[in-house]
Structure 1
Amino acid sequence: MLSKAQFLKHLSLLVLTIQTTTLVMVLRYSRISSGDNSGHYVSSTAILLSEIIKLMVCLLILLYQTNGSLTSLTQLLRKEVMAKPGETAKLLIPALLYTIQNNLLFLALTNLDAATYQVTYQLKILTTALFSVLMLHKRLALNQWLSLVLLMIGVTLVQWPQSETQSQPKDISSDELETAISVVIDEPLGNRLIGLLAVLASCFSSGFSGVYFEKLVKYTSQSLWIRNTQLALFSVITATIAMCVQDFDLIYINGFFQGYTTLTWIVVLLQAFGGLVVALVMKYADNILKGFATSISIVLSTVCSYYLMTDFYPTTSFLSGASIVIAANILYAF
């Protein structure tokens, strides 16, 4: 019989896997459903809306926990958020790192081919484990370290481009799914050293920010939903800045909701829901298990892409990688 904590741990990982897989499929379909790029929605506006929705959901949950009293909610926010600027400011770190990380990935994809990018970016699996050991004092057995290396190899093979001329990389997993960014690189490759340094910096940023947030959620006195509210607040600010820097002219000319359809709103809601699920995973599981859940979702989304969208055909590298991912999951559990 599973304890409540174990049940919530497994449930949160299962929901994260399903959510991530669904988001990849809906996001991909939403980006190709229009006949031309002019009909696409601006991804930075979708990111901002998802952060706003996450903030609203967190506030509603806190309102429920205070028995529906707006006065009690206001007092709680004043006590836990405004009266503790030091604690609140701690969430500025992961919010800024997520923004910096996404820009680093744009830089990396501008300077690297898809194959090199896919291989090097999987180092985030090991950097996450490394920061978990250093910051949370986790102790990993030899078989667990081996499973992490196998997972990195398996995910690399699963996402390996189908041809050397392929210019559109696969949908990016983990932190990039949390921001729902889809990138197509048409320009010639630039400086490979800059691209490699950008990927490596992003790997360390991803590992550190994820473990840092896990530490705040698990090992501080403030509740999960207070921490989520603080993170969502800073995320709204950084997403607004990023939107203005990247797409201000486009939004000014065509409007904030250009290209929005019912499917777009589903993407926004899935994205917001995913952010909340990740917080639950941080509370009841950890970043390493989150990486395994995300890896499984990559395999599932690729299989769904074959059966539902017919835009992918399994290769030897995919089948080998999928088998390695499954084996790595089994090895880590034992």
Structure 2
Amino acid sequence: MVMSTAHYPRLKYVSLGVLVLQTTSLVLTMRYSRTLKEDGPRYLASSAVVLAEVLKVLTCILLVFKDCSFNVQSMTKLLKEEILNKPMETMKLAIPAGIYTLQNNLLYVALSNLDGATYQVTYQLKILTTALFSVSMLGKRLGLHQWLSLLLLMAGIVLVQWPTESGGASQKKNMTAGSQFVGLMAVLMACVSSGFAGVYFEKILKETKQSVWLRNIQLGLFSFGFGFIGMIVYDGQRVRESGILQGYNSITCTVVILQALGGLVVAVVIKYADNILKGFATSLSIILSALVSYFLLMDFNPTGLFYWGTMLVMAATILYSYQRKPASVSIIKTETSINSA
């Protein structure tokens, strides 16, 4: 027991670091994969979403297999009882699955029309939508500092999106006003869908005793179905002509893996860390995305307004995640110290 307690702080910071790397790597790698010029056809974003869901489901099945002490019969029985024999419970996941599928495709559209750093900061609007849906759907009450953080967030987003004349020549050349508008609308729609689907999924998890991995399997099965239908509808002709893996390379495979493991990384952070560390992880990923986008991808030229907006977004993220200790806890600690003295 002592050993696990000693390793607990280390696990928190390890999970924090993994989340920072995963978030930053996914944004920059996805952005790079969508702007990379190749002789052959570009990979289909819809197929990447489908393959990511397949990989996510397989990973969750392995985790359930581990929870069943690596017993195939026990795992099969569990999956049958919880998924097949409870169709109404399983069908509840159809709503967030469809929304998540839409969101994943919107992120590809956004990163095809925005630089990585601007996308990363703007996407923090999901904090606002998540808060609003939490209040309306879960009945949560937000403190004054949390509402203040939402105001700071909105101010930061306005500064980041504020039009300036000091943008880099390469950025203006590669991104027209129309494409930036499309990217911005895609991010905003993704923020709304992310907030609703996240809160809805949280509501389902709190109403049942099923494990997170089982729920992710159910979610992934629906997401695969919706994603596959979307791929056939929008890219069916191209799939029939060149196959589902057209344009795939090592970068594309990396994007699929990062996207599939994203939900698992967040689950690990929630298990070993807390909301404050999640806020730091989001802020650090913004900084890393901006630095890499500027120095390596060279598709972003930051301005003074962008720096101020980024600072406000980081401050808002940390402030929103800040949890004040209840007064009763402080009183109990004080009484305990007095009694022990």
TM-score bin, normalised by smaller chain: 0.7 to 0.9
Structure 2: give runs of 5+ residues left out of the alignment.
112-118, 325-341
Measured at CA, do residues 28 and 118 of structure 1 come closer, stay the same or move farther in structure 2, by a change above 3 Å? closer
1:93 maps to what in 2?
95
For the 8 Å contact 2:279–2:318, the answer to whether it is kept is no
User: Which of structures 1 and 2 has the bigger CA Rg?
Assistant: 2
Residue 60 of structure 1 and its aligned partner are, at CA, apart by 0.8
Cα pair distance change 1:46/1:224, threshold 3 Å: same
Q: Number of residues paired by the alignment?
A: 307
- Distance verdict in 2 for CA 1:302–1:159, change over 3 Å: farther
Counterpart of 1:257 in structure 2 is 245
Provide the C-alpha distance between the structure 2 equivalents of 1:272 and 1:252, rounded to a whole number of angstroms.
25
CA contact (8 A) 2:129 2:195 kept: yes
Amino acid at match of 2:71: S
Question: Cα RMSD between the aligned structures?
Answer: 3.9
Query: What is the deviation of 1:297?
Result: 2.4
> Which aligned pairs between 1:113-132 and structure 2 lie closer than 5 A?
124-132=126-134
1:269 corresponds to 2:269:
no
- Return the match for 1:49 from 48, 51, 65: 51
Structure 1 portions without partners, runs of 5+: 110-116, 170-183
Instruction: Compute the displacement of 1:213 (Å).
Output: 1.0
Aligned pair partner of 2:228 in 230, 234, 240: 240
Between structures 1 and 2, the one with greater helix share: 2
The answer to whether residue 26 in structure 2 is matched with residue 23 in structure 1 is: yes
TM-score by length of 2: 0.74
Q: Distance in 2 between matches of 1:291 and 1:235?
A: 28
Deviates further, 140-149 or 74-83: 140-149
Select 1:305's aligned residue among 285, 293, 298.
293
Contact 1:305 1:311 in 2 (8 A): yes
Distance 1:80 1:248, change over 3 A: same
Percent same amino acid among aligned pairs? Answer: 53
* CA 1:30–1:85: 2 relative to 1, 3 Å: same
Deviation at 1:329, TM superposition (A): 3.4
Q: Aligned match of 2:155 in 118, 133, 153?
A: 153
Kindly provide the amino acid, as one letter, of the partner of residue 248 in structure 1: G
Contact 2:125/2:153 (<8 A) preserved: no
Compared with structure 1, are the counterparts of its residues 200 and 54 closer, same or farther at alpha carbon in structure 2 (3 Å cutoff)? closer
Report the residue type matching 1:262 in the other structure. S
Kept in 1: contact 2:122–2:157 (CA 8 A): no
Shift of 1:56: 0.4
Query: What TM-score do the two structures reach when normalised by structure 1?
Result: 0.75
Following the alignment from structure 1 to structure 2, what is the Cα–Cα distance between the partners of residues 103 and 273? 17
Alignment partner, residue 193 of structure 2: 205
Distance 1:19 1:199, change over 3 A: closer
Contact preservation (8 Å) 2:24, 2:289? yes
Alignment partners' CA distance in 1, 2:189 and 2:30: 26
One-letter amino acid matched to 2:36? S
